Structure 1
Amino acid sequence: MSRTPHRTSPPNPTAELFEAERDRLRAVAHRMLGSYADAEDVVQEAWLRLSRQDAAAIHNLGGWLTTVVGRISLDVLRSRQARPEASYDDGVSGPVVTLDEGPAPEDDALLADSVGPALLVVLESLGPGERLAFVLHDLFGVPFGEIAQILGRSTAATKMLASRARRKVRDGERPSGAGREERAVVRAFLAAARRGDFEELLRVLDPEVELAVETPDGPVVSLGATKVAAGAQVGARGAAEGLEVLVGGLPGILSRHEDGTPRAVVAFTVAEGRIVAIRTVVDPARLARMSLPGAG
């Protein structure tokens, strides 16, 4: 099997050309997938495909490789949607959970440290097409026409995907992501869940909202406002008794059992006045590895 070339490999024109692009390709794949291991796999697959081509016949090798990496990454993202049990992280125990004492000037400096991880959190809330369009165009300057070919869409449609993704990233990644507006949306959601107000739940949920619950048996994913709203009504009690926290800079809730052991950690991603993603951890083993505020 052909392997990705190493800097100590014997002179090989194709390998040298690939070597010059490797770091950039890895960066593209990591931004797309949020996993260094998956990014390495994608770069390896791109090398295998290049090794079967006549590199001299490729007019723009950098563009060709970017297209290949984009298509492979898109396939991986779509596969994740079809198999939600897959693990997307790199083995990190979890985001930092701190008490949410409301917006204050000093919070900006603290939250600024989480902007990088926050970007990956928001990117995970995007659909595969949105994520591809945003990463390739806004982060790596790939023309919309080339991205459209990868997606199989028109250039105009691709620009719309990127614009929608850009708004979500702008609102979700900024250091003041857990600001007054975001808190208000989350509180409205929790209040509606406690009242059993289905219509209000639908109002504050994005139509394509994703709920991911990490259970002892693995992740369980629900898609769409109707399913998420129905589930919210059932699980409202724990949230009603929960403590407001910041989960990796995002507004969230920490709830505990009567004996003080953690019951659940919930993080909300809010964009344009609606909740676009909810991440919930109820797995006791994962909760035990997380650094959580005291039982109080």
Structure 2
Amino acid sequence: MTPLITANQLEELINSGENVLLCDCRFDLVDPLAGKKAYEESHIPGAIYVDLDHDLSGKKTGANGRHPLPSPQAWAQTKTRLGMSPNTLVVAYDKQGSVYASRLWWMLKATGHAKVQVLDGGLDAWNGPMGTVPRKPTPASHAIEPRPYVGLVLVDEVVNNLQTQSNAVLDARANDRFHGQNETLDPIGGHIPGAINRFFKDNLSATSFKPAEQLFKEFVELLGSTKPSAVIHQCGSGVTACHNLLAMELAGLKGSRLYAGSWSEWCSDPNRPVET
């Protein structure tokens, strides 16, 4: 299943009576309540709200990043509560260039949920009706079994990679934050030594993803002969990194992995080196 669905395709699916679980993933890192408020004011009819902090993140310890992944057990419970049964087609959208929708896409794919897509262009591309009545999730009829995240990289592997250089570390943050400038979200600026930078917005043309052929060309120019399986994605807290991962998948460069702790976890330990 292609990672993306167009607004026209989605509207046709909905009108056909297809069982689609729409997930509104709007969020604002600076104002965490803004996304839910926007959803409550207006959303694609029938959509439920999926919150980055409460649904797509686990408990913070102060050393595991700003948006640590929930445990496989906790994520299975959330999927059950939200009605994400294994055969349910999940379509995620936001209004931030598909950043938060990509996080949901990756979390589902990584735990074996095959039928998940991101609305290309998000709400900016949607020309269909809008609703104002929030929908409460309908829980799945059976508890969803926990499954480990396939393609998840832990911090120790990234530390070891400093010596082995067996993987390319791809940082999705803006170029200034990558270079330790204008850092407002994390206490320390800079990047993991040896990382290369690909700002997630470079995947977009306006609010939609660039064509697959163009993405393929740009990633190959950036990564050279590095195989997709040797690419570790990271960002500030494991969110925008999913955007790069989805873009590579769209380009046919499958098999790259996610360091979910990302910079916010990395910089929490003063013993880990920092490059600017």
Query: Looking at both structures, which has the greater relative contact order when contacts are Cα pairs under 8 Å and sequence separation is at least 6?
Result: 2
Structure with larger Rg: 1
TM-score normalized by structure 2? 0.29
TM-score normalized by structure 1? 0.27
